[in-house]
Chains A and B, each alone.
Chain A
């Protein structure tokens, strides 16, 4: 699904050259749930940006779903992001002037679905995250956990093969964090590949595999065989919002 070989990313300023990623190697298989941890400044976010095609890299090979993305132009990358990747951000990144319906609608518009198709998907996904009855609310009227669930609905609405989550629980209290985490695991169970960046080791343990990044390199990989998820009551639906 995701294959990085010797990916290198260098940030240059007039004075210094920083290797944010250096000969970074990672292979994520279809259906995996991988967490990425590491100290701050280790290159987690750079990895995430490159994996999500948000940033370009200087050297190495990156295949996403069998496609070499190195030389794609901006429009092709945008299209790929739109079709194959779902994003979940630490600070949710909902658009404050749009209601929930329109927020989930954003990637679908770029996808070019017709309006009834969009409506069906939006309603399904908001239902999945338990917010179908608040479709006309603005993000500011929701709690942080609810906002993140809207963001998840938005990420899923386009049925991406691959979900990238950047500290999705970083701005949430532990109860909400758990519920969001459980939602992600349910989605993964339905077959969506997930890569999640986090600094929280307890969350990292809930994934199938954890990789530890240090100084721009994968320094350690832990395979987790058993997890002990607690069922969280507030999740009303489970599974991805397949349509």
Chain B
């Protein structure tokens, strides 16, 4: 190992200060690049985290579609019952039910629940799913306390009906929001108030079910209401055995369309497609940011390569002289690597400041979350590494400079 004195930090630094512009340009590029990359990674992580949240249902094997009757003699109640019986009887279908809204789809129904009656008390918002006694099996939910719905619990809901069934099932998150002091098991059987003062009793608790609105801060608040709807459209939710979704989706659609000509069957969509559509913007943002990060890193690296190559060419004579004075090839390599390292260091320190600055701006003006502190050292390390890799090529070319150049007169 060479002694430390041969690491020419002092002279490199002093030479740099006499030839500032190139160094400043690289340092600035590194700083801005780091600022963009770290903030992009932060946004990317935030989005990925959001997208990774579990909706609580068997998304891989579920789909839904809706039926809208228009014929004058169309009898919703009969058709719904016939349809559900027929779908459930299909081989490959695990279970099916009617539902008023689809989790994570973007559209649904919300209500406020409160623990005391009266308009003056503020309610806790929750998504409302109107379902029948097949709900646990169809959505693949786990009942962690209380009891499931029985067929006799299910009622029909007319279009403008305002009242609610006597008993409901709610998610663990919702009950913990309503009764922050108590453990969820103890809340079974408690009375809640919907519409300010209409009592409903908690019949059971399910572990997890997301609301339709993924941007909502109370995404995990959901309640199951035991009723089937007689609205102008009815939506059917179907869960299939693994691997049979693709075959059953068109089959169910065709079966419904054929069974009754007085209606329109539409909106056939798998849960996976729903998830994709819901998170499409996040997915797009992730891809765009990734592209930006890659091209930006490339641009910065190419800039470093360009300037370093130029510097190597410009200093050929100097390199030859150093070689003549006893610099080994390793010293020449180290010289350029070290020079880049010093410039990058200034860049990443400035970059850390810029990064935090941009993050503060994004937090304040666009509602992003705060940066994880460790992203900054990781970003600094990354850019150091990018710089070193970029300068490696030109630096290696510099080592090939013949010391005999020193005796050549230009």
- Are A and B co-members of a single complex? yes
Smallest Cβ distance from B156 to chain A, in angstroms? 88
User: Given contacts A79-B328, A112-B2, is CB(A95)–CB(B321) below 8 Å?
Assistant: yes
Using Cβ atoms and an 8 Å threshold, which residues of chain B touch A75? 328-330
Cβ contact within 8 Å between A95 and B409: no
Cβ contact within 8 Å between A81 and B5: no
Check if B317 is an interface residue, CB within 8 A of chain A. Answer: yes
Using Cβ atoms and an 8 Å threshold, which residues of chain A touch B331? 78, 110
Using Cβ atoms and an 8 Å threshold, which residues of chain B touch A162? none
- Chain B interface mostly: helix
Check if B327 is an interface residue, CB within 8 A of chain A. Answer: yes
Q: Select one of B11, B327, B406, B408 contacting A98, CB under 8 A.
A: B11
Smallest Cβ distance from B57 to chain A, in angstroms? 67
Check if A120 is an interface residue, CB within 8 A of chain B. Answer: no
Smallest Cβ distance from A20 to chain B, in angstroms? 11
Cβ contact within 8 Å between A109 and B330: no
Which of A29-37, A59-67, A83-91, A180-188 faces chain B? A83-91
Cβ proximity bits A107-125 to B, threshold 8 Å, 1 near / 0 not: 1111111110010000000
Check if B307 is an interface residue, CB within 8 A of chain A. Answer: no
Interface residues of B in 301-319 (CB under 8 A from A): 317-318
Which of A45-53, A207-215, A225-233, A235-243 faces chain B? A45-53
Interface residues of B in 364-410 (CB under 8 A from A): 402-404, 406-410
B321, closest chain A residue (CB): A93
Cβ contact within 8 Å between A54 and B324: yes
Cβ contact within 8 Å between B5 and A49: no
Cβ contact within 8 Å between A98 and B15: yes
A114, closest chain B residue (CB): B5
User: Given contacts A109-B5, A110-B331, is CB(A154)–CB(B325) below 8 Å?
Assistant: yes
Q: For the complex, what is the distance from the CA of A170 to the CA of B323, rounded to whole Å?
A: 22
A157, closest chain B residue (CB): B325
Cβ contact within 8 Å between B402 and A89: no
Q: For the complex, what is the distance from the CA of A173 to the CA of B182, rounded to whole Å?
A: 99
Using Cβ atoms and an 8 Å threshold, which residues of chain B touch A167? 409
Cβ contact within 8 Å between B402 and A105: no
B: interface residue count bin: 20 to 34
Cβ contact within 8 Å between B321 and A81: no
Check if B3 is an interface residue, CB within 8 A of chain A. Answer: yes
Check if A166 is an interface residue, CB within 8 A of chain B. Answer: yes
Cβ contact within 8 Å between A93 and B404: no
Using Cβ atoms and an 8 Å threshold, which residues of chain A touch B409? 90-91, 167, 170
Check if A99 is an interface residue, CB within 8 A of chain B. Answer: yes
Smallest Cβ distance from A46 to chain B, in angstroms? 9
Q: Select one of B15, B317, B329, B407 contacting A49, CB under 8 A.
A: B407
Check if A106 is an interface residue, CB within 8 A of chain B. Answer: yes
Cβ proximity bits B17-48 to A, threshold 8 Å, 1 near / 0 not: 01100000000000000000000000000000
Cβ contact within 8 Å between B329 and A110: no
Smallest Cβ distance from B366 to chain A, in angstroms? 45
Q: Select one of B5, B327, B404, B407 contacting A78, CB under 8 A.
A: B327
Cβ contact within 8 Å between B18 and A109: no
Check if B322 is an interface residue, CB within 8 A of chain A. Answer: yes
Using Cβ atoms and an 8 Å threshold, which residues of chain B touch A118? 5
Check if B326 is an interface residue, CB within 8 A of chain A. Answer: yes
Cβ proximity bits A67-104 to B, threshold 8 Å, 1 near / 0 not: 00000001100110111000101110101111100100
Cβ contact within 8 Å between A109 and B329: no
Q: Select one of A79, A97, A112 contacting B5, CB under 8 A.
A: A112
User: Given contacts A93-B317, A98-B14, is CB(A82)–CB(B404) below 8 Å?
Assistant: no
B3, closest chain A residue (CB): A112
Cβ contact within 8 Å between B14 and A45: no
Cβ contact within 8 Å between A48 and B327: no
Q: For the complex, what is the distance from the CA of A90 to the CA of B321, rounded to whole Å?
A: 12
Smallest Cβ distance from A65 to chain B, in angstroms? 15
Using Cβ atoms and an 8 Å threshold, which residues of chain A touch B402? 54-55
Give the interface centre of B3, B322, B324, B409 by most chain A CB atoms within 10 Å. B324
Smallest Cβ distance from A120 to chain B, in angstroms? 14
Cβ contact within 8 Å between B14 and A48: no
Using Cβ atoms and an 8 Å threshold, which residues of chain B touch A105? 11
Cβ contact within 8 Å between B328 and A48: no
Check if B183 is an interface residue, CB within 8 A of chain A. Answer: no
Smallest Cβ distance from A9 to chain B, in angstroms? 11
B408, closest chain A residue (CB): A45
Smallest Cβ distance from A104 to chain B, in angstroms? 10
Smallest Cβ distance from A107 to chain B, in angstroms? 4
A166, closest chain B residue (CB): B407
B7, closest chain A residue (CB): A109
Check if B122 is an interface residue, CB within 8 A of chain A. Answer: no
A95, closest chain B residue (CB): B318
Smallest Cβ distance from A127 to chain B, in angstroms? 20
Question: What 8 pairs across the A-B complex have the smallest Cβ distances?
Answer: A82-B326, A97-B15, A112-B3, A78-B328, A93-B321, A107-B325, A54-B403, A110-B326
Given pairs A55-B402, A118-B5, 12 additional interface contacts (CB within 8 A): A52-B324, A54-B324, A54-B404, A55-B404, A82-B325, A93-B318, A97-B14, A98-B11, A105-B11, A106-B325, A107-B325, A109-B11
Q: Can you offer 12 A-B residue contacts whose CB atoms are under 8 A?
A: A54-B407, A55-B403, A74-B328, A81-B324, A81-B325, A81-B326, A93-B320, A102-B15, A107-B326, A109-B6, A110-B328, A118-B5
Binding site for A on B (CB under 8 A): 2-3, 5-6, 8, 10-11, 14-16, 18-19, 317-318, 320-331, 402-404, 406-410
